[in-house]
Structures are given as structure tokens and as C-alpha cells.
Amino acid sequence: MIAGQGKQAGLLLDEPLIFERSRPGRAAFAVDEAVESAEDLLPAQLRRGLIEGFPEVSEPEVLRHFLRLSQWNLGAATTFYPLGSCTMKYNPVLNEALARLPGFARLHPLTPDELAQGQLELMWALEQCLAEICGMDAISLQPAAGAQGELTGMKMVRAYHLDRGGARSKVLIPASAHGTNPASAALAGYGVVSVPGNRLGLIEAEAVERVMDEEVAAIMITNPNTLGMFEREIVQVAEVVHARGGLVYLDGANLNALLGVAKPGHMGADVLQFNLHKTFSTPHGGGGPGAGPIGVRDCLVPYLPVPRLVRDDHGICWSEAFAKSIGRVRSFHGNAGILVRAYAYILALGGDGLELATQMAVLAANYIRKSLESQYHVPVPETCMHECVLSDKAFEAEGVKTLDIAKRLLDYGFYAPTIYFPLVVNGAIMIEPTETESKETLDEFIAAMRAIAREALATPDVVRSAPTRTPVSRLDEARAARRPVLRWRPASPPVR
């Protein structure tokens, strides 16, 4: 366990808290006596008092402690990260370097437009690229995340209907849509009506027809849906909604399955959001950063948020001269660094590259599904798009649950996939391999899943007690959720 003396030296696999390393009087470095003290340099009202229990450790201890913790992190840069529903592809380091170019990274938010033409040109070009990719008439890069893009889109839907005499009161949402859709509709002031899917989890035009009326403002469709299936009747569904004056919102979080192959604007969508941080090169997780631009058809262009980019004889500038706009949703240039990465990704791949990426993502998901269908229950045994869904049904007799399988995957060196989602499948295991993984990596993952399936039948306790090869064994997740301890506090006053 520990190749050293005690738990404080050598190769540590049981890292103590930095507070437990603290020793009175120990410090990272000593300030030269000739330098004025902080007390002399800063007014008293700007100085913080003593922090109770603040750890006193040497510089090597600090460096090694946090470096070790960083090595415990699992991410797309360290292992296959098959998180379903949230595309977690490996993103080129080159795009990171481009986003950190001083001309982008050091651009002050209050820089006048005439001195920020490089950034504005990039954003203008990105808008044109995204409009072409999704088949929409106009783009706004302002929303800072996918969920904010959803809310922005629904506020535009509301403004559109108000402009025609009434906001309407309801939004239709298929049972297999993303979980953020109902929240976005509710925040925009709408009641939510769920539309059930068929045996394959797909929405049917007839089902929409039964609940469609003049109080429905829009339908929010996730396509491909959360079962990884393409909505085969989406064009007919759009026709039903449009016939009663409603609009079609398409959740673009799964755009990784459509790039270069199909355009939501051609399916009848009036508005969609992009999750740039999923689809177009930005590492994400833990709440950000992200960017959730929206694309709209011409009927919604007047309601786009401000400021909007406009080009005139002097170049590109921001404009707020749009009387019907829903207003601001984000400050300054938005999350500009994500926009730089996305533009670099699109230019690097080009149209043919985006199409190939989609084809590889779909191929990888179906390769995993077919490779595991003899040992795992596949609730929808049909060709899927960029992600596939399994379940724990094959191991009911052994008492092995989806959570156990996910924990056991950690022992095999893989990040756990999304579990218990989508909600329409009991014990769901959602896997999205993306286009960036090699066949060898997919085969290693498949071999691990097969090994776990064999263990679940022969030695179920091994799976139920996982993980056992990680720095921390299985945690009490119910206690962590109900009694979260998010800040360390000393049990007693520190020893001086």
C-alpha cells in the first residue's frame, strides 16, 4: 500500500488531507526581511484575518499532494470516457493552444469593436459555419451553455407567439427527450405535456396529433433521442405542430450524430441549441465552461438576443438595434475561448471531416452494441446512432445492478458510462464511444464489459463490492447526497 515510512512519505496510494499534513511553523518559503510585510503594504480593511486551521506545509509537500490528487482524475485525456448523453470526445491540444493566443485570451471585454476585429471576424465566420451545418437562417453565439441555449430558444418562442396575439400555455416534450427540456420550458412560463413514445421509444406523428391544439407553443424534440435512436417521423411531427401554429425546438446536444450528414433545419426545426463544448472541441464537465449558441429559422430572427453581430463598410460590430429582441442573455463576447476552439475544430475537419466523424461515431456505438448484445440486455435492439443503451436485466437473479457494473468498470481502468438514464429504461447503461476512439480501445472496453458479465454470473460479490483497485473504495452515495460535507473544518482548535 505504501512504499515508505508511515502514510506521509514514499509512494502514497492513501493520500491524507492537506490539513492532516500540517505542522506548526512549516511554510513554503521565507520572505526576505528587507521586503516590507503585507501588513505594511495593505490597508487594514483589505487584509484578511487568520484562517482557522489553515494548513502549514512545505512547498514540496504542497506540490506533491496536489499533483498526486490530479493523477487520480479520470478524463478523456487519461482513459476511454464513454459517458452517454454527454459527448466526451478527446479534443485536440492544438485547439487549446489557439484559444490561448494572446490576441484572443488577453482581449479585454470592453475593447472597442474597431480594435477587436480579429475576434469579431472569427465569431462572424463561426456563425456562418454553424448556420450551414444545421441548415438555419441565423445564429446567436451568446448563450453560455446548452441549458441556457434551451431557455433562450424558449423565450424566443414565447416572444414569437406574443407578437401574434398570445403566448400560448403548453409545450410538448417526448418521454425520450433530454431532462433539461422540461425545466427550460417551465422557466419560460410553459406547462409541460409529456408525449409517450412507441415500443422503440420513438415519437409518432399520430401521438402528437392527439395532444396538439392551439395552446401548444412548441414541441421540444431530442434527435437522436436519449435511447440513441433517430426520430424517423420528425418531419411528419413538425408538419402536425406547424399546422396548428406551433414551433419545433430541436435539442442539439446530440448533434455529434448528425454533423455533415443531416441538417435539423431540413427536418422542420425552427430553433435549436448547439452544445459547442460537446460537439466542437472543448473539454467539459463539472459545470463548464461551455457555449450554447442557438440557430433559428427566419420566423424567429427578429427575437434573437442582443447584441448581434452586424457587418458594415467599417467592419464588424455589435448592435442592439433590434426592437423585438428578447434582450441580453450573456455579457460581452460570451465564452469566447470556447468559440475559438469550436471554429478551429470545424476548420481542421472541414465538411468531409465532419461527415466522417459522424460516421465513425455511429459505427463505434453500433460496434459496441453488437459486441455486447449476447451478454447484456439491449432494450432497443435496433441500429442506433452515436450512443447505445444496455441494461442490467440479464443479472437480476444474481442481484447485480447497473451501479455495480459501472463501479467494476473503474477496476478495469475505464471511466463509468452514464447509468440509470434514460429514465424510460430500467437499469439503463448508456454508452457513447464517440469517433475519437480506436478499434483497439473499443475492443479493450468490450473485453472488460464481457469479463464483468461473466463475473456477475459466476462471482457476483466481486462486482457488487467494486471498486477494489481504486484509491477510494465504494462510497456511501446516499449519505454523500443527503449529508454533503463540502468544507473541511477542524475537529478541535489547531495545536500551536
> What pLDDT, on a 0 to 100 scale, did the predictor assign at position 488?
80
Scored b (16 or more CB within 10 A) or e, 175-194 reads bbbbebbbebbeebebeebe
Residue 6's pLDDT band, with cuts at 50, 70 and 90, is: very low
> What pLDDT, on a 0 to 100 scale, did the predictor assign at position 2?
40
> What pLDDT, on a 0 to 100 scale, did the predictor assign at position 13?
65
Q: Of the given ranges (36-45, 79-88, 271-280), which has the lowest mean pLDDT?
A: 36-45
Pairing relationship of beta strands 138-140 and 294-296 according to DSSP bridges: antiparallel
Contact 109, 216 (CB under 8 A): no
Give yes or no for residue 17 having a pLDDT over 80: yes
Task: Give the Å distances, CA to CA, from 408 to 63, 299, 455, 474.
Answer: 31, 50, 10, 10
Q: What is the rounded distance in angstroms from the CA atom of residue 437 to the CA atom of residue 415?
A: 14
- This prediction has a pTM of 0.88
Phi, psi of 248 (to 5 degrees): -115, 120
Over residues 90-107, the mean pLDDT reads 93
Over residues 193-212, the mean pLDDT reads 94
Residue 472's pLDDT band, with cuts at 50, 70 and 90, is: confident
**Helix ranges, 272-389 (H):** 276-279, 336-372
**Helix ranges, 22-179 (H):** 38-41, 59-72, 93-99, 102-105, 117-134, 146-162
Is the bond preceding 224 in cis, omega lying within 30 degrees of 0? Answer: yes
Share of the chain above pLDDT 70, in %: 94
Pick left, alpha or beta for residue 332 (phi over 0 → left; psi -120 to 50 → alpha; otherwise beta): left
**What is the DSSP track for 252-293?**
ETTGGGTTTT--GGGGT-SEEEE-HHHHTT----TT------
Q: What is the rounded distance in angstroms from the CA atom of residue 129 to the CA atom of residue 135?
A: 10
> What pLDDT, on a 0 to 100 scale, did the predictor assign at position 38?
67
Residue 84's pLDDT band, with cuts at 50, 70 and 90, is: confident
> What pLDDT, on a 0 to 100 scale, did the predictor assign at position 286?
57
Q: Of the given ranges (66-75, 216-225, 277-286, 455-464), which has the lowest mean pLDDT?
A: 277-286
What is the per-residue pLDDT across 34-44, written as a single tens digit (0 to 9) for each?
A: 666 767 778 88
User: Could you tell me the three cell numbers for 252?
Assistant: 442539439
Give yes or no for residue 483 having a pLDDT over 80: yes
The overall average pLDDT reported for the chain is 91
> What pLDDT, on a 0 to 100 scale, did the predictor assign at position 394?
97
Task: Give the Å distances, CA to CA, from 79 to 71, 287, 319, 373, 447.
Answer: 12, 20, 44, 24, 15
Give yes or no for residue 3 having a pLDDT over 50: no
> What pLDDT, on a 0 to 100 scale, did the predictor assign at position 102?
95
Over residues 382-395, the mean pLDDT reads 96
What is the per-residue pLDDT across 300-354, written as a single tens digit (0 to 9) for each?
A: 999 999 999 999 998 999 999 999 999 999 988 888 999 999 999 999 999 999 9
> What pLDDT, on a 0 to 100 scale, did the predictor assign at position 61?
92
